[in-house]
């Protein structure tokens, strides 16, 4: 498969002057056609910033953002507008982004008017086909957003995002406000889009929310990727202590397999409270003095795992069961 979108050593700064902090720090990431990349992390980890950077909705302080091998970091807003149909986004709260005065049909038609050359008749045909694809009922097309529940509105948001047949689709915690049935329906649609060749980046605070469909998972902590790898490998044997703690919060799929909750010390520090060394060290149960003084860089483990932990190459990054 070909790489559709890539971040190269991307850093993002928020604030100004002495209040300037790093929301993302030297992030390397790529997603291929026909792949779902899950990005997980706690609130404040930088997921929303990462989503916006992928689509160049915000400028990076350093690094490059590529779409199909073209560097879009330096493009003007005018040139970026021409690419908007090729890279789209689904937001967490559809009510915050959908115009309440427009019908669902008009909302779905808007990206077709902006990013395609279809005439009115062809757009109507395309909307009917799109509605069926995302499981919207014909009667819902004539309703306005306030007449629909959050689960139906999130389908509308997905429909708007894929109407122009983008190469890259980024979703910022789209299942957070959905019940289990609605979340499963949305994830099923994402799997179909992936199988059709779309590159998808799926953000969530909950690793269980991306597990069913993600081909790879990247774990984000304080704006840095601490672990990345194939979903099956990462879930079977998490190597970074933070990943281990995230997974320990979920019941094992096998009821006979006993789990143990890893409880971390304190809360993630605020961005302006970061110190030198590993950002996770203040909360890590196995941190050593060197972890607090030396910032780890991602180490390649095997053929497709990256882990940012000083202890991983020694095989000592797993939290002992006795702790």
- The CB-based long-range contact list for 252-255 (8 Å cut-off, 24+ gap) reads none
SS3 150: helix
Cα separations (Å) of 177 from 42, 91, 110, 209, 228? 16, 11, 25, 12, 26
Judgement on whether residues 231 and 241 belong to the same structural domain of the protein: no
pLDDT at 258: 52
Question: Please, what are the averages of pLDDT over each run of 10 residues along the chain (323 residues)?
Answer: 95 82 92 98 92 93 95 92 95 94 98 96 97 97 97 97 97 94 97 98 94 97 95 95 88 54 75 78 90 85 91 90 54
Q: Please identify, among 174, 202, 235, the residue that sits at the C-terminal boundary of a domain.
A: 235
Ramachandran angles phi, psi of 101, nearest 5°: -90, -10
- CA neighbor of 57 nearest in space, from 32, 29, 108, 91: 91
Partner residues linked to 301 by β-bridges: 305
Judgement on whether residues 189 and 283 belong to the same structural domain of the protein: no
Judgement on whether residues 22 and 56 belong to the same structural domain of the protein: yes
SS3 18: helix
Q: Please identify, among 235, 257, 283, the residue that sits at the C-terminal boundary of a domain.
A: 235
* 130 Rama class: left (phi>0) / alpha (psi -120 to 50) / beta: alpha
Evaluate the CA torsion angle 59, 62, 65, 66 in order and state its sign. positive
Query: End-to-end distance of the chain based on CA atoms, in angstroms?
Result: 43
CATH of the domain at 125: 3.40.50.300
Q: Domain range holding 184?
A: 3-235
pLDDT at 141: 98
pLDDT at 323: 43
| 147: its two tokens | 């007449």
Contact 238, 247 (CB under 8 A): yes
pTM: 0.93
Judgement on whether residues 295 and 168 belong to the same structural domain of the protein: no
């Amino acid at each position: 498969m070909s790489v559709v979108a890539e971040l190269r050593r991307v850093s993002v700064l928020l604030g100004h002057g002495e209040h300037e902090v790093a929301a993302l720090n030297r992030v390397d990431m790529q997603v291929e056609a026909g792949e779902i990349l899950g990005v997980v992390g706690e609130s404040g980890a930088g997921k929303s910033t990462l989503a916006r950077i992928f689509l160049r909705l915000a400028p990076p302080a350093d690094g490059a953002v590529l779409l199909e091998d073209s560097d879009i970091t330096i493009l003007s807003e005018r040139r970026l507008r021409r690419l908007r149909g090729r890279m789209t986004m689904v937001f967490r709260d559809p009510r915050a982004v959908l115009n309440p005065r427009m019908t669902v049909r008009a909302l779905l038609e808007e990206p077709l008017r902006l990013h395609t050359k279809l005439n009115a008749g062809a757009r109507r045909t395309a909307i009917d086909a799109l509605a069926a694809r995302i499981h919207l009922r014909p009667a819902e097309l004539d309703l306005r957003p306030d007449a629909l529940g959050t689960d139906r509105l999130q389908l509308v948001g997905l429909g708007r995002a894929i109407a122009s047949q983008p190469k890259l689709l980024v979703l910022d915690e789209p299942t957070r406000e959905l019940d289990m049935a609605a979340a499963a329906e949305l994830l099923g649609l994402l799997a179909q889009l992936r199988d059709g060749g779309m590159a998808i980046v799926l953000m969530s605070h909950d690793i269980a929310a991306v597990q069913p469909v993600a081909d790879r998972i990247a774990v984000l902590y304080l704006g840095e990727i601490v672990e990345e790898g194939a979903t099956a490998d990462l879930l079977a044997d998490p190597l970074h202590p933070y990943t281990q703690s995230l997974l320990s919060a979920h019941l094992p799929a096998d009821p006979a397999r006993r789990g143990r909750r890893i409880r971390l010390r304190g809360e993630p520090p605020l961005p302006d409270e970061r110190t030198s060394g590993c950002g996770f060290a203040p909360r890590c149960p196995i941190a050593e003095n060197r972890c607090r003084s030396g910032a780890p860089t991602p180490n390649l483990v095997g053929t497709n795992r990256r882990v940012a932990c000083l202890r991983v190459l020694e095989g000592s990054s797993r939290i002992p069961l006795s702790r």
